[in-house]
């Protein structure tokens, strides 16, 4: 019979293997939707690691803000989402973006918690990918042409997007998204609401909650939004744009 110490060794090894396996699954699921099974800790939803170092977006977004934003705020949304869906396996089996599209089917007793914390989890998982180190500054390819066509020019788009981001009263987001007809447009959402909730496809978005910028920019949201353009991953947005269009064709 193995004694207690042997069992602890085995358990420790198994935990290590599970962690490794879950890391690989997370990588395979590197596209947006995190399937609930991607979690290695037995909980349906898990905090994805940042896709770059905490200081990768310096000097535009500082490392301290990234630590706070990812490790505390995003982690709290994940924790609270898991708490909300505990005991609701039919809800917890859905990727979070799907969950947000079907909020009307979520039991009313947990709907607000799922909306806020599922929204926070989806929005932040997306937001980390919307930014990158050594960002190109401007879009290329099909998305660049579509922005020109829809807004007149890239700078006209920027002007409208900035205006939208600055117009959000209190906490929320501004988005570049495709609507139901695959038309490009800008929209804002309050709190942790998102285009997903309306069945639309976000391509790019900026978090204008104060926690996203207050440490570095204090109350000057305009400076933060101006700096955000320096870190936008237009390649990511373009990939999502082309992916959505090819699915629709």
Residue 221 CB, nearest approach to Mn ion (Å)? 13
- ∠ CA 125-126-128, nearest 5°, is 75
User: DSSP assignment of 33-100, as one string?
Assistant: ---GGG-SSSSS--PPPPSS-TTTTTTTS-HHHHIIIIIIIIHHHHHHHHHHHTT-HHHHTS-HHHHH
**From 5-13, 98-106, 204-212, 214-222, span contacting Mn ion (CB under 5 A):** 204-212
Asked if 234 and 63 touch (Cβ cutoff 8 Å), the reply is: no
Residue 240 CB, nearest approach to Mn ion (Å)? 20
Question: Does 213 participate in binding Mn ion (rule CB under 5 A)?
Answer: no
Asked if 151 and 191 touch (Cβ cutoff 8 Å), the reply is: no
Question: Does 193 participate in binding Mn ion (rule CB under 5 A)?
Answer: no
Question: Does 77 participate in binding Mn ion (rule CB under 5 A)?
Answer: no
Q: Cα separation of 124 and 130, whole Å? A: 10
Q: Cα separation of 112 and 109, whole Å? A: 8
Helices (H), 180-233: 214-217, 221-228
Tell me the per-residue interface mask from 136 to 155 with Mn ion, x by CB under 5 A, - otherwise: --------------------
Residue 212 CB, nearest approach to Mn ion (Å)? 5
**From 99-107, 149-157, 170-178, 207-215, span contacting Mn ion (CB under 5 A):** 207-215
Residue 208 CB, nearest approach to Mn ion (Å)? 9
User: Three-class SS of residue 175?
Assistant: strand
Question: Does 209 participate in binding Mn ion (rule CB under 5 A)?
Answer: yes
Asked if 39 and 26 touch (Cβ cutoff 8 Å), the reply is: no
Residue 117 CB, nearest approach to Mn ion (Å)? 12
Nearer residue to Mn ion within complex by CB, 121 or 200: 121
**From 18-26, 59-67, 100-108, 199-207, span contacting Mn ion (CB under 5 A):** 199-207
Residue 226 CB, nearest approach to Mn ion (Å)? 18
Question: Does 207 participate in binding Mn ion (rule CB under 5 A)?
Answer: yes
**From 91-99, 194-202, 211-219, 225-233, span contacting Mn ion (CB under 5 A):** 211-219
Per DSSP, 187 falls in state: E
Tokens found for residue 77: 């949304």
Size of the site for Mn ion (CB under 5 A): 3
Q: Give me the residues that bind Mn ion (CB under 5 A), please.
A: 207, 209, 212
């Amino acid at each position: 019979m193995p004694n207690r110490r042997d069992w602890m060794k085995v358990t420790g090894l198994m935990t290590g293997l599970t962690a490794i396996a879950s890391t690989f699954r997370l990588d395979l699921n590197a596209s947006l939707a995190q399937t609930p099974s991607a979690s290695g800790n037995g909980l349906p939803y898990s905090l994805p690691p940042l896709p770059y170092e905490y200081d990768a977006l310096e000097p535009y977004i500082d490392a301290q803000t990234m630590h706070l934003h990812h490790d505390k705020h995003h982690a709290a949304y994940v924790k609270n989402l898991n708490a909300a869906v505990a005991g609701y396996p039919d809800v917890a089996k859905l990727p979070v973006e799907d969950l947000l599209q079907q909020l009307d089917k979520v039991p009313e007793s947990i709907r607000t918690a799922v909306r806020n914390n599922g929204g926070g989890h989806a929005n932040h998982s997306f937001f980390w990918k919307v930014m990158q180190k050594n960002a190109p500054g401007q879009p290329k390819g099909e998305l660049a042409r579509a922005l020109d066509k829809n807004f007149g020019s890239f700078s006209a788009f920027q002007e409208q997007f900035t205006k939208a981001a600055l117009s959000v009263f209190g906490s929320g987001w501004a988005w570049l998204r495709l609507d139901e007809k695959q038309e490009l447009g800008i929209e804002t959402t309050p709190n942790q609401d998102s285009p997903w909730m309306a069945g639309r496809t976000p391509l790019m978005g900026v978090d204008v909650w104060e926690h996203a910028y207050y440490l570095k920019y204090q109350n000057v949201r305009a400076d933060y939004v101006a700096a955000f353009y320096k870190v936008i991953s237009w390649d990511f947005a373009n990939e999502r744009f082309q992916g959505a269009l090819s699915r629709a064709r």
